[in-house]
């Protein structure tokens, strides 16, 4: 993932093309985050997975208005016409609009978990992610029962009826998850996702 390219002058355009050529030569895929509107580069360089160039859910960390569910159904008919987009999906910490408050640690989103789950279908994002930790996901009504809880229980431990943890070990494992959550919120709530089938570029200026 390459970030902080918030301009579209000739120098930046040349840099992006050189970077994609270098990445392709090394069999690497690239995601552009913090970039100007896409111009179809993924047709010349299929190793370009997606570009941001959209009001993203990270605005929920600092913007009083937040990112509304209406935004998610507007983007496919506007910005996404220019190509796939990098969008930070994943958190199920949904709240009603009137209760929304921006925050950096463990940020919330406006709406229900169904809004977030629907975004995986509606948005063309070739690097999707679940940008949160197992414990808040396992704690929602959507995952406490049935197949979802069974799989999440392997990671979250307690409070997951389908989990594989033994009863006497579950509370200890849950405390470990909670401690990791506490440590992470003191640093950053953003999770960097890597592409499952291959390597990924992470930051930096690759110009020779």
Which residue bears the tokens 């890597």?
194
Q: Which of 42, 52, 58, 86 is catalytic?
A: 58
Hey, where are the domains in the chain?
A: 10-131, 134-186
**Which whole-number Å values give the CA distances from 68 to 55, 81, 91, 116, 125, in the listed order?**
11, 20, 14, 11, 18
Tell me: the pLDDT tens digits for 80-133? 999 999 998 878 888 999 999 999 888 889 998 889 999 999 999 998 888 777
58 noted as active-site residue: yes
**Which phi-psi region, left, alpha or beta, contains residue 86 (left: φ > 0; alpha: ψ -120 to 50)?**
beta
3 noted as active-site residue: yes
Query: What is the second-level CATH architecture of the domain 10-131?
Result: Alpha-Beta Barrel (3.20)
pLDDT < 50: residue spans in the chain: 146-178, 181, 184-208
């Amino acid at each position: 993932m390459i970030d902080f390219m918030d301009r579209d002058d000739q120098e930046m355009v040349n840099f992006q093309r050189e970077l994609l050529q270098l990445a392709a030569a090394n069999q690497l895929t690239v995601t552009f985050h913090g970039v100007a509107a896409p111009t179809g580069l993924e047709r010349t360089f299929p190793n370009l997975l997606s570009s941001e160039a959209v009001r993203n859910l990270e605005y929920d960390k600092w913007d009083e208005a937040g990112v509304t569910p209406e935004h998610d159904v507007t983007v496919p008919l506007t910005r996404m016409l220019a190509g796939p987009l990098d969008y930070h999906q994943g958190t199920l910490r949904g709240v009603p609009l009137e209760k929304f408050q921006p925050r950096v640690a463990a940020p919330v989103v406006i709406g229900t978990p169904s809004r977030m789950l629907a975004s995986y279908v509606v948005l063309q994002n070739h690097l999707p992610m679940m940008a949160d930790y197992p414990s808040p996901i396992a704690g929602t009504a959507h995952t406490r029962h049935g197949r979802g809880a069974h799989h999440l229980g392997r990671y979250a431990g307690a409070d997951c009826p389908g989990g594989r943890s033994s009863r006497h070990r579950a509370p200890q494992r849950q405390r470990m998850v909670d401690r990791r959550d506490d440590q992470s919120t003191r640093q950053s709530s953003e999770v960097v996702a890597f592409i499952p089938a291959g390597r990924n570029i992470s930051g930096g200026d690759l110009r020779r």
